[in-house]
Amino acid sequence: MDFAELLSTTASKLKPDSAMLLFSQTTKRRNRDVFYDYRNSSDIIYLTGLNIPDIILYISSDKKIIFYLNFPDPGQERWTGKMITPEILQSRFKLEKDNIRESKNFWNDLPEILKNKRSLYIDFNMQNDDFVKIIKAVNDLNKNNRDATCGPDQLLHVGEILHEARVIKSRDEIEKIQRAAQVTQKGFIGVMKFTRKPGDEILYEYQIKSAVESIFRNSGIMDIAYPTIVASGNNANYLHYADHSRQIQRHDLILMDAGCEYMGYASDVTRTFPANGKFSESQKEIYKIVLEAQKNAIGLCQIGNTFEDIHNKAVHTVVSGLWNLGLFKEIPDANDNKERIQPLSIEEVIEKKYFRIFYMHYTSHFLGLDVHDVGKYYIDGKSRLLQSGMVFTVEPGIYLSEDYDFIPEKYRGIGIRIEDDILITENGHEILTKGIPKEIKEIEEITA
């Protein structure tokens, strides 16, 4: 990717007489003098490819680009390794020497680089003191405007420019997501063979988690895209389950939601498979409904359809399947769990959203530099039309808690989700994660 050209293109999209400021993520302390592995802000990675802290990026509508960063310090380098040099940035981004400045000069430079700018683009999600300091600097500029200078009088969210640009992936971005998907496939297939040790010893959830992340890293991937979820038995009914301390039981289903990150770009996959290599009949009944819902929803992944179309198709399939199994005969009233409701039709269940007790999340989300990537799902109050270059997930699920005494006992404790990564193309779609088994026969063959 030509980042110098991308920076220039971004500058050309700004309003006249405006500027954009982007701040890299700060390092995060884990405890005492130990820090979490560093990961930069996705907007900085998108525009520069840089994954180093303490960068401030200035972009103006007249195409002036300034990088502020910590210059190499021999004392610091003795502890953490070589730091990027101004000369490297000059060459990489085709900039003059004065466009690469030390971070310590930023706040002194700020009044000058914002002088006579009418608008300022900034990330409204900034969670540190820098946001307040910028607002103060803008106010100070506007207080002292008797010398014919002034600061911005309009604040705009960087998402207006950057986040919409990030919705449609370039060929380079798609290739990075494809690489992440390929390694994720290796991880899932490897783990499906790993649910039991020799001698049929059942493992713990954290051992499955460790196994898939090890495969990612042994395949040349440094980072996971998000905390891996390995949920066995009833734990699969907790959407963001994070404990991983349970020993997996022989007849459990294992729900694994995992993905790796390649050069900042994420994959995101969920599969549900039997610990003992074979689905029970009741597990199979629920699994078939989720798989059918996903296939039906993916069938609508093409230009001109909407995210609502995809979700509604998945919902209708799930509701119809559960209705036929009798799971909507009597359900709790959301306003009073002691009361019971007897829906009269599938249409009533959908219209009144009774299905949310079994399927409570949306079917799709954008995927890219963030696992839940930026982008609007509704424009002018209408569900967004799908466009070529969009990448998102399709992930229906059914969650039947062991506490649901209003459903047949044989279904209680079953939680199933199936998730794939989809690229919209000019001719339809491509399932980027299609190599990961999800048919019952395929899964039983590999897990057995």
Among 87, 25, 30, 29, residue whose Cα is nearest residue 53:
25
Buried b / exposed e across 45-76, counting CB within 10 Å, b at 16+? bbbbebbebebbbbbbbeeebbbbbeeeeeee
* 197 contacts 203 by C-beta, under 8 angstroms: yes
Among 256, 254, 363, residue whose Cα is nearest residue 318:
363
361 is an active site residue:
yes
417 is an active site residue:
yes
Of 39, 196, 217, 361, which residue is the catalytic one?
A: 361
C-alpha 178/C-alpha 194 separation (Å) is 25
**Could you give the C-alpha distances from 440 to 284, 289, 294, 295, 337, in angstroms and in order?**
8, 12, 14, 14, 35
292 is an active site residue:
no
157 is an active site residue:
no
SS3 content of the chain, % helix, strand, coil (to 5): 40, 20, 40
Matching residue, tokens 């802290």: 53
Among 203, 202, 258, 252, residue whose Cα is nearest residue 230:
258
Q: Tell me the angle at which helices 171-192 and 205-218 cross, rounded to the nearest 10 degrees.
A: 130
C-alpha 443/C-alpha 439 separation (Å) is 6
C-alpha 88/C-alpha 93 separation (Å) is 9
Q: What are phi and psi of 247, to 5 degrees?
A: -80, 130
* 287 contacts 414 by C-beta, under 8 angstroms: no
- As given in the structure block, the two tokens for residue 379 are 């424009």
Of 32, 33, 78, 380, which residue is the catalytic one?
A: 33
403 is an active site residue:
no
Of 241, 262, 399, 411, which residue is the catalytic one?
A: 399
Type of residue found at 371: V
C-alpha 167/C-alpha 367 separation (Å) is 9
Q: Is 349 helix (H, G, I), strand (E, B) or coil?
A: helix
Helices (runs of H) and strands (runs of E) counted in the chain: 13, 25
Sheet holding 65-69, edge to edge: 100-102, 65-69, 56-60, 18-23, 119-122, 154-157
Of 123, 257, 420, 421, which residue is the catalytic one?
A: 257
Helices (H), 219-324: 281-298, 307-324
C-alpha 338/C-alpha 331 separation (Å) is 10
Of 43, 205, 373, 395, which residue is the catalytic one?
A: 395
Of 252, 419, 420, 421, which residue is the catalytic one?
A: 419
Of 365, 373, 420, 429, which residue is the catalytic one?
A: 365
33 is an active site residue:
yes
146 is an active site residue:
no
C-alpha 139/C-alpha 127 separation (Å) is 20
For strands 196-197 and 265-266, give the pairing.
Answer: unpaired
Of 39, 118, 196, 372, which residue is the catalytic one?
A: 372
The residues that are catalytic are: 33, 240, 257, 268, 361, 365, 372, 395, 399, 417, 419
